[in-house]
Amino acid sequence: MSNVVIVGAQWGDEGKGKVVDLYTEHADVVVRFGGGANAGHTLVVNGEKLVTHLIPSGVLRKGVRCVLGDGMVVHPGVLLEEMADLKARGLLQDDKDLLIGEKAHVILPIHTLIDGLREQQKGALGTTKRGIGPAYESKVGRRGIRMGDLLRPERLPALVERTLDEAAPLIRHLGGTPPTAAEILADLEDKAARLGRYIGDAARYVYGEIRKGRSVLFEGAQGALLDIDHGTYPFVTSSSTTAGGACSGTGIGPTEIDSVIGIAKAYTTRVGAGPVPTELEGDAGARLREAGAEFGATTGRPRRCGWLDVAALRVAVRLNGMTGLAITKLDVLGGMGPLKVCVGYQVTDAGGRVEDRDELPLDPGDIVAARPIYEDVAGWDAVTREVREVADLPVAARKYVSRIEALTGVEVVLLSVGPGRAETMVIKHPFR
């Protein structure tokens, strides 16, 4: 039995969904611990594609319970749509397949409205406009509405009034028109009636399963560099995306976690604003985007693409206490010609001193001023989608992976060479 945390090791979209789906074969429970429908996790099984936003990516495996952890922010309408889609595919047939943490916060229409209005202002962050930031602001400001409140409809009018009182002036200030309390309330009552039977004490449930010796997979969303505390602030999301968030976002203590697997693409991508020092502009970036089909699973935005940044990966290794690394999209680098890997940065500190560092600086101003230090690495031309044994990979691809291992000090436990389940080499399984 094992409890395994899966986290993104870069700026999101590393292929967490694929790896979670794969590992769920050995899990009894899969629990998302943070974020909301800003996530888009893609699963490709038997050629059929499915994108999950709120529901854990373990949903394809029968008999596995999917839990929306208390650290999440849940848009009831988006959740119902996702549930309907999954039910139409023959999944989530039993009410017990899904449990929604009663302490997870509700994303209200005012949150999505504020997020969208802010995105029209100068200096926008390029959010997913799913209301994530404003919903976490309500939570931390102790004005939020929780999923458990939907089970107590008598509370809702006062809670809605309180939230709207504070939000309405802001919405007007941003040039929008606030919805009325009656509109919000009617919508919440409708959603409460449809979701009520799935809402419960997720923290106690997950703990109970662990005590029974069951295996729990904690599914991270976003990536280490988008972490609210430790990422490239302010170009981050509003939740704890690193392994510590698996504990705070589910109510499970750190001593219950057996391993932390970081998922990293063989190169770098990012959607939204903020500096990406290894970004490739022009043709080279476009080739990667094309080859990797790098368009957002949630918003469809083209992802910014660039060389692998091992100096950024080292930050993710440190922040997550990573025990293993899964490298995805290795296939995409085939045919790209000679490759580069960023192994460090030349950083100028506030006193004007220049030094070489082995980690990406995290302050956006420092990032812009830093100079990436590259190592040239041989590329390979062979198509690797069909390769199933590490020994059958081109020598240069094997060397690329070994170099990542040597530079990060973390064992590579999985290699992915395509979106499908079979297009994977499991080197070492995290479940004992």
Q: Is 51 one of the binding residues for ligand IMO (CB under 6 A)?
A: no
Residue matched to tokens 């662990």: 210
* Interaction of residue 227 with ligand GDP, rule CB under 6 A: no
Nearer to ligand GDP, 84 or 293 (CB): 293
Element (H or E) spanning 190, and its range?
Answer: helix 181-195
24 binds ligand GDP (CB under 6 A): no
Which of ligand GDP, ligand IMO, Mg ion, none binds 417 (CB below 5-8 Å, type-dependent)?
Answer: ligand GDP
41 is catalytic: yes
Contact 347, 369 (CB under 8 A): yes
Residue 41 found at the interface with ligand GDP (CB under 6 A): yes
26 classed as catalytic: no
In terms of Cβ atoms closer than 10 Å to its own Cβ (0-12, 13-18, 19+), residue 269 is buried
| Binding-site partner at residue 133 among ligand IMO, ligand GDP, Mg ion, none, CB < 5 to 8 Å by type | ligand IMO
Contact positions with ligand GDP (CB under 6 A) in 358-417: 416-417
From the list 10-18, 113-121, 190-198, 248-256, the region that binds ligand GDP by CB under 6 A is 10-18
Structure tokens at 405: 């291992």
Site membership for Mg ion, residue 36 (CB under 5 A) = no
Contact between 54 and ligand IMO per CB under 6 A: no
**Smallest separation (angstroms) from ligand GDP to the CB of 27:** 16
Which of ligand IMO, Mg ion, ligand GDP, none does residue 416 bind (CB under 5 to 8 Å by kind)? Answer: ligand GDP
Told to check if 221 binds ligand IMO by CB under 6 A, we report yes
Q: Does 418 bind ligand GDP (CB under 6 A)?
A: yes
Backbone φ, ψ for residue 112 (5° rounding):
-65, -35
Q: DSSP alpha helices (H): ranges in 64-155?
A: 76-88, 109-119, 132-140
CA nearest to 285, candidates 299, 300, 269, 297: 269
Q: Does 125 bind ligand IMO (CB under 6 A)?
A: yes
- 213-233 burial, b at 16+ Cβ within 10 Å, e below that, comes to eebbbbbbbbbbbbbbebbbe
User: Could you say which residues in the range 279-318 bind ligand GDP, by CB under 6 A?
Assistant: 293, 297
Q: What phi, psi does 248 have (nearest 5°)?
A: -65, -30
Here the tokens at position 80 are 């119902």
Tell me the C-alpha distance between 139 and 133, whole Å.
Answer: 10
Give yes or no for residue 13 binding Mg ion (CB under 5 A).
yes
- Rounded to an integer, what is the distance from CA 31 to the centroid of its chain? 13
Rounded Cα distance between 150 and 91, Å, is: 25
The active-site residue out of 21, 41, 97, 115 is 41
Q: Which long-range contacts (CB under 8 A, 24 or more apart) does 405-409 make?
A: 405/325, 407/310, 407/313, 407/314, 407/341, 407/343, 408/310, 408/313, 408/314, 408/317, 408/325, 409/317
- Residues 13, 21, 97, 149: which is the catalytic one? 13
Our finding on whether 297 is near Mg ion (CB under 5 A) is: yes
- Residue 215 in contact with ligand GDP, rule: CB under 6 A: no
The count of residues interacting with ligand IMO (CB under 6 A) is: 24
Q: Does 249 sit near ligand IMO (CB under 6 A)?
A: no
Measured between alpha carbons, how far is 187 from 162 in angstroms, rounded to an integer? 17
Residues near ligand GDP (CB under 6 A): 8, 12-18, 40-42, 44, 293, 297, 328-329, 331-332, 416-419
Active site residues: 13, 41
Residues near ligand IMO (CB under 6 A): 8, 11-13, 38-41, 125-128, 130, 132-133, 221-223, 226, 237-238, 271-272, 297
